[in-house]
Amino acid sequence: MDVDVAVVGAGQAGLAAGYHLRRTGLDFVLLDDQPQPGGAWQHYWDSLRLFSPAAHSPLPGWWMPEQPGAEFPTARHVVDYLSAYEQRYQLPIYRPVRVATVHERGPRLELTTDQGLWRTRAVISATGTWSHPHVPRYPGGDTYQGRQLHTVHYRSGHEFEGQRVVIVGGGNSAAQILAEVSQYAETLWVARREPRFMPDDIDGRVLFDVATRSMATRAQGMDDTVDVSRLGDIVMVPSVRAARSRGVLKAHPMFEALTSTGVVWGQGREQWACDAVIWCTGFRPALGHLAGMDLFDVSGHIPTTGTRAHHDPRVHLLGYGDWTGRASSTIIGAGRTAKAAVRELAERVGPPRYP
């Protein structure tokens, strides 16, 4: 099938792109490999909530409704919002369609998928990171007999009732999972660096307001001196504050290796036996479908200006983190960067074929 623009991925970033594409009159599709709407939000653990109230997390055009009785909406509520959003704007989403490769074919780009071939004049890649979990390699990782899982496989603390559990990582996922698991299990939290906690009164509201002000500053051509990351990494949501009160929010240095029964430091002199290791060690952008294009630098990164790939201006990247636009992996940030990307692409792709 031939279209002007193909968006790969229909999570929040893809939907924001769809909203703006709809307004250009260009012919476009969104291809998403999940059977259901919601992107990564449909896979988060049961108790996860947004860092901020609904009013601080809108996609373009339509505010997220409040969740009755919940100041901070659940992941399920976000999934419902994204589902309703794609229907409201009648976005042309095909799912499940997995894009395996994108190749240059003269003036066109060709997408091979498990549902056939698509030809297009431009691609917006919005595939997120959830499908590409990162687990660092440590000596003994293959010999450990207990359970190892990554954040993506974690559902709830109940599963670890009565066990001894190591939680690895210094970010929000680790702190929140620790807070929950420690109510059911004996936990040990380890991180490569001392975790940096935000002040208690900083939540998603403040972070998004600061990000908004700094974007406005930059839009006026002024230097942006606000650096939100200086405030810390871990947002003190109620469950994390409660874990601190219980005295479990204490990180230990990263272990050196795993053995068949646990983790060790000091070349094996110190050992902590455990039933499970939960790796809350982050994600990498899911960019495998672009591997056949000449977009990557030697470090495996795709250099961009804004969202546009340096080596092929027909390819834009949305939602992977700050390198494709300020806060572009948050719901509100996705909308802002999508607008800029679509504006640029619309100029490049030219007048719509079906005006």
Supply the DSSP string of 114-180, one letter for each residue: TTEEEEEEEEEE---STTSB-----TTTTT--SEEEEGGG---GGGGTT-EEEEE-SSHHHHHHHHH
CB of 304 to ligand FAD, least distance (A): 15
Among 98, 119, 147, 339, indicate the residue that binds ligand FAD (CB under 6 A). 98
Q: Which of 27, 32, 80, 203 binds ligand FAD (CB under 6 A)?
A: 32
Of 8-16, 259-267, 291-299, 337-345: span binding ligand FAD (CB under 6 A): 8-16
Q: In whole angstroms, give the CA distance from residue 105 to residue 127.
A: 22
CB 80, min distance to ligand FAD, A: 15
C-alpha to C-alpha distance for 258 and 168, rounded to whole angstroms:
12
| Residue 20 sits in the site that holds ligand FAD (CB under 6 A) | no
Binding segment toward ligand FAD, per CB under 6 A, in 17-25, 102-110, 156-164, 324-332: 324-332
Secondary structure letter of residue 288 according to DSSP: G
- Residue 146's closest CA among 260, 50, 34, 254? 260
Measured over the CA atoms of residue 135, residue 138, residue 140 and residue 146, the dihedral's sign is negative
Selected binder of ligand FAD within 18, 60, 128, 146 (CB under 6 A) = 128
- By CB under 6 A, the count of residues binding ligand FAD is 33
Locate 160 and state its tokens: 């670890």
Contacts of 210 (CB under 8 A, 6+ apart): 226, 228
**Least CB distance to ligand FAD at residue 143 (A):** 29
Looking at residues 174 to 233 of the shown chain, list those that interact with ligand FAD (rule: CB under 6 A).
Answer: 204
31 near ligand FAD (CB under 6 A):
yes
Q: Rule CB under 6 A: choose which of 24, 120, 173, 304 binds ligand FAD.
A: 173
Structural contact between residues 99 and 112, judged by C-beta atoms closer than 8 angstroms: yes
Residues that bind ligand FAD (CB under 6 A): 8-14, 31-34, 39-41, 48, 50-51, 57, 98-99, 126-128, 130-131, 173, 204, 286, 289, 319, 329-331
